[in-house]
């Protein structure tokens, strides 16, 4: 195995597709905040869509390779990426050699990025997932965010004829972040004018937002029937209105039940766009029907996975290995690893 050492972690955790079917037991799903970026990173690296990755938050992070070369891809929020000082493109695979450093800059106009690895990280799934859920004590190889000095075991890279990149790069966030929602399930706990106020306000994502929830800064919303309900199940994207009237959107690390009324729920089709809105960024909500939300999601799914293309050759001939081979007296396989260096 190769090793990836954490030099500066920023806000980084191990995340995959998450844990599902366990909320009845109080186990939160956790998993990647931006599932589209997770899937895109793993497709580039030749991994299954839900393979564990390093999820980095908005702060910069640096990692160093030891041992055999590894292959990575970085997707998600726009940011500068470099390998030992050389600029490295997002949405493309890159080879990192022994001693080289991967530097991930601060996110610009987004929140979360994903580092995938050809062959994957060495982790042990806990209840079907390696994702960190720090409060519940789940996560592999660590039950906490990454720290300086941590080591991640990575499968060494194989020989590819060329690197891969997404034919259509990830698009940046729109300056007009309109996110669609389905009203309810407790929208009857609010005055009609309160619902209108919720939909017509330009909210700002609060500075204290995190993987558990994004707070929304703006006017306080009045309850029509009080703010206590019998605690019921929450879903990713539930928008609760707290007792003081502030809305907050429950996300990957949420609790499985909650006792505040939920005025609306984010439409799945816009979920990944929403979680990439940075702290201080604006968002407005548009109400749609369940049928409309499902149709939008089907349309998105029908577009399939992003097409990939070659992004330049990566193998370099090892002249010493070739010259030592008896090319005249025996057949030599030019694709043997010994004939190449990284």
222: which DSSP letter? P
For the chain, the average pLDDT equals 89
Q: Where are the domains of the chain?
A: 2-169, 178-302, 315-342
Residues in CB range of 236: below 8 A, 6 or more apart: 29, 250, 251, 252, 254, 266, 271
Contact 37, 73 (CB under 8 A): no
> What pLDDT is recorded for position 319?
45
> What pLDDT is recorded for position 342?
39
> What pLDDT is recorded for position 303?
76
> What pLDDT is recorded for position 306?
60
pLDDT tens for each residue of 181-234: 999 999 999 999 999 999 999 999 999 999 999 999 999 999 999 998 999 999
178-302 folds as: Cyclophilin (2.40.100)
> What pLDDT is recorded for position 109?
86
Low-confidence ranges of the chain (pLDDT < 70): 168-176, 304-342
> What pLDDT is recorded for position 308?
61
> What pLDDT is recorded for position 327?
47
pLDDT tens for each residue of 274-304: 999 999 999 999 999 999 999 999 998 887 6
Residues in CB range of 250: below 8 A, 6 or more apart: 212, 213, 234, 235, 236, 237, 238, 239, 240, 258
> What pLDDT is recorded for position 171?
56
């Amino acid at each position: 195995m190769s090793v990836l050492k954490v030099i500066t972690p920023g806000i980084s955790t191990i995340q995959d597709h998450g844990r599902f079917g366990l909320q009845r037991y109080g186990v939160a799903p956790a998993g990647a905040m931006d599932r589209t970026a997770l899937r895109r990173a793993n497709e580039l690296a030749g991994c299954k869509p839900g393979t564990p990755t390093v999820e980095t938050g908005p702060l910069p992070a640096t990692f160093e390779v030891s041992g055999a070369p590894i292959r990575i891809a970085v997707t998600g929020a726009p940011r500068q990426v470099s390998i030992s000082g050389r600029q490295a493109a997002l949405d493309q695979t890159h080879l990192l050699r022994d001693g080289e450093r991967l530097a991930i800059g601060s996110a610009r106009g987004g929140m979360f990025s994903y580092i995938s690895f050809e062959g994957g990280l060495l982790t042990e799934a806990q209840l079907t997932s390696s994702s960190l859920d720090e409060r519940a004590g789940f996560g592999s190889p660590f039950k906490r965010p990454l720290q300086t000095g941590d080591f991640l075991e990575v499968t060494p890279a194989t020989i590819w004829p060329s690197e891969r990149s997404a034919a259509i790069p990830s698009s940046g966030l729109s300056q007009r972040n309109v996110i669609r929602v389905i009203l309810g399930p407790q929208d009857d706990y609010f005055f009609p004018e309160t619902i209108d106020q919720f939909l017509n306000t330009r909210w700002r994502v609060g500075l204290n937002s995190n993987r558990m929830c994004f707070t929304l800064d703006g006017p306080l919303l009045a309850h029509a029937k009080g703010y206590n309900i019998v605690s019921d199940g929450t879903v990713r994207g539930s928008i609760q209105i707290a007792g003081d009237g502030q809305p907050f959107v429950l996300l990957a690390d949420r609790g499985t039940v909650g006792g505040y009324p939920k005025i609306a729920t984010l439409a799945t089709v816009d979920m990944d766009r929403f979680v990439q809105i940075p702290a201080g960024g604006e968002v407005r909500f548009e109400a749609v029907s369940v049928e409309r939300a499902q149709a939008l999601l089907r349309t998105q799914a029908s577009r399939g996975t992003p097409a990939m293309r070659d992004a330049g050759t990566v193998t370099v001939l090892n002249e010493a290995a070739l010259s030592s081979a008896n090319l005249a007296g025996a057949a030599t396989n030019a694709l043997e690893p010994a004939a190449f260096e990284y």
